[in-house]
Amino acid sequence: MQNVLQGLRIVEASAFIAAPMCGMTLAQLGADVIRFDQIGGGIDYRRWPVTERNDSIYWADLNKGKRSLAIDLKSEAGREIIVRLIALPGANGGIMLTNLPAKGWLAYENLCRHRADIIQLAIVGDRHGGTAVDYTVNAKVGFPFLTGPEDDERPVNHVLPAWDITAALLASTSLLSALRFRDQTGQGQKIDLALADVALAAVGHLGYVGDRKINGAARGRGGNYLYGAFGRDFTTADGARVMVMAISPKMWSGLLAATGLQDAMRELGGRLGLDLDQEGARYRARREIAEVLQQHIGTQALDTLAGAFDASGVCWGRYQSMADLIDHDPDCSPANPIYHVVEQPDIGTYPVPGQPMHFGAVTRHPARRAPRLGEHTDEILADLLGMSAGEIGRLHDQGLVDGPR
């Protein structure tokens, strides 16, 4: 936890990845992020991976550092409490994040009746009002036909929910932008973000639309080759897999120095009529370059190769299994200052990450664990809404709010 957003309060109504990850990011930067859920948990409360006892590791990891309020959202009284909480006065409040339907009592217009300068960011599926999730969005924008082996025509889904992550961080960027705007103008606003549009914009920002419209290019499946310069995976003599890249001139000369292939590549460039010092030429000659490189790398043990590569500043990386990464790589452990061992109630004790960026002006504290569902119900009602113990007790008695079980 790094306290650069101290004081800021965000009320979150969310499920799955994009909105929870946005809130978690802001919580790890010091904001007071209050996630409210229906008593018993929302639709992502048992999302896999779960423990043997069906407690969700997924939910814990995406809600680290937040406070949890469990409340009956079907009741008028429960909804009134949430609206009061969102609309609390002050420059640090009046901010709401959701990927649940922002309709009816949760609609921006309704919240504005209680506080005129509300900031609400609502993540939806697509701009037409349809459902869309990371996998369907990825299918729509074409990456599954660009990803995977060149000798296999089947679409390849991403396992990494890249569009959810992108949406989460566009959301945090947007909320902080809108907050600055409100600080300067006094004006709140609704911000709408469709997951499909996140991917559709990225396709343009990354040059695919321009390449097609200007060059008429239909980029095909490129296997493990990097596009536009040289890069591919190779197998060492001892069976390790490595990714080797040469984008910049420095990376290319480093690779040649490390492998001693200067003459071979000069000869190859001459034969192909290409100046391999140009990144585009390296892309055109990628298959031939890879063949020469594989002949060299295939004779080297990983350790030898790693030594030579690192000595010459080659841009390369070893493929690891996720299990190897988590079991053996110090970078994915508390040896890396972004990781701390945390005890998560109901789940256990394991290393969890904070944010990867380091802020020089504040101290990095260990990542805070996720709340238990309803863990902060009473303190939120008392401290933020000024309710008495008697009032809070009555809400419990009526089944309108709940604490941790």
Residues 254-293 close enough to bind a copy of itself by CB under 8 A:
279-280, 283
CB of 261 to a copy of itself, least distance (A): 19
CB neighbours of residue 314 within 10 Å: 23
Considering only 73-81, 82-90, 219-227, 263-271, which stretch makes contact with a copy of itself by CB under 8 A?
A: 219-227
Q: Determine, following the binding rule CB under 8 A, whether residue 103 of this chain makes contact with a copy of itself.
A: no
CA–CA separation, 96 vs 116, rounded Å?
13
- Under DSSP, is residue 180 helix (H, G, I), strand (E, B) or coil? helix
CB of 200 to a copy of itself, least distance (A): 5
Q: Determine, following the binding rule CB under 8 A, whether residue 62 of this chain makes contact with a copy of itself.
A: yes
Q: What is the identity of the amino acid at 253?
A: S
For a copy of itself, the closer of residues 63 and 300 by Cβ is: 63
CA–CA separation, 240 vs 244, rounded Å?
13
Q: Is 277 left (phi over 0), alpha (psi -120 to 50) or beta?
A: alpha
Place of tokens 């504290």: 365
Q: Determine, following the binding rule CB under 8 A, whether residue 345 of this chain makes contact with a copy of itself.
A: no
Question: Which helix (H) or strand (E) is 145 found in, with range?
Answer: none
Which of the following is catalytic: 164, 183, 238, 310? 164
Q: Tell which residue, 302, 319, 316, has the closest CA to residue 246.
A: 316
Query: Is the peptide bond between 49 and the residue preceding it cis, with omega within 30 degrees of 0?
Result: yes
Q: Determine, following the binding rule CB under 8 A, whether residue 364 of this chain makes contact with a copy of itself.
A: no
> Contact 272/288 with Cβ under 8 angstroms?
yes
Q: Determine, following the binding rule CB under 8 A, whether residue 36 of this chain makes contact with a copy of itself.
A: no
Q: Determine, following the binding rule CB under 8 A, whether residue 398 of this chain makes contact with a copy of itself.
A: no
Q: Determine, following the binding rule CB under 8 A, whether residue 313 of this chain makes contact with a copy of itself.
A: yes
For a copy of itself, the closer of residues 80 and 152 by Cβ is: 152
Considering only 67-75, 358-366, 385-393, 396-404, which stretch makes contact with a copy of itself by CB under 8 A?
A: 358-366
Q: Determine, following the binding rule CB under 8 A, whether residue 14 of this chain makes contact with a copy of itself.
A: no
Question: Which helix (H) or strand (E) is 242 found in, with range?
Answer: strand 241-246
Q: Determine, following the binding rule CB under 8 A, whether residue 203 of this chain makes contact with a copy of itself.
A: yes
Q: What is the identity of the amino acid at 5?
A: L
CB of 246 to a copy of itself, least distance (A): 11
User: Would you give the DSSP letter of residue 233?
Assistant: E
Q: Determine, following the binding rule CB under 8 A, whether residue 12 of this chain makes contact with a copy of itself.
A: no
CA 199 to chain centre: 14
Q: Determine, following the binding rule CB under 8 A, whether residue 139 of this chain makes contact with a copy of itself.
A: yes
Would you call 164 a catalytic residue per the annotation?
A: yes
Q: Determine, following the binding rule CB under 8 A, whether residue 51 of this chain makes contact with a copy of itself.
A: yes
- Under DSSP, is residue 111 helix (H, G, I), strand (E, B) or coil? helix
With CB under 8 A as the rule, give the number of residues binding a copy of itself. 161
CB of 363 to a copy of itself, least distance (A): 12
For a copy of itself, the closer of residues 317 and 399 by Cβ is: 317
**According to CB under 8 A, which one of 90, 321, 363, 397 is a site residue for a copy of itself?**
321
CB of 78 to a copy of itself, least distance (A): 21
CA–CA separation, 123 vs 167, rounded Å?
8
Strand 241-246: give its sheet, edge to edge: 230-235, 241-246, 315-318
Place of tokens 């492998």: 259
Considering only 65-73, 339-347, 376-384, 393-401, which stretch makes contact with a copy of itself by CB under 8 A?
A: 339-347
CA 270 to chain centre: 45
For a copy of itself, the closer of residues 138 and 377 by Cβ is: 138
**According to CB under 8 A, which one of 345, 359, 388, 389 is a site residue for a copy of itself?**
359
What CA–CA distances, in Å, run from 349 to 129, 363, 368? 41, 23, 12
CB of 369 to a copy of itself, least distance (A): 11
For a copy of itself, the closer of residues 80 and 324 by Cβ is: 324
Q: Tell which residue, 52, 5, 134, 44, has the closest CA to residue 370.
A: 44
> Contact 174/193 with Cβ under 8 angstroms?
yes
CB of 18 to a copy of itself, least distance (A): 12
Q: Determine, following the binding rule CB under 8 A, whether residue 45 of this chain makes contact with a copy of itself.
A: no
The residues annotated with a catalytic role in the active site are 164
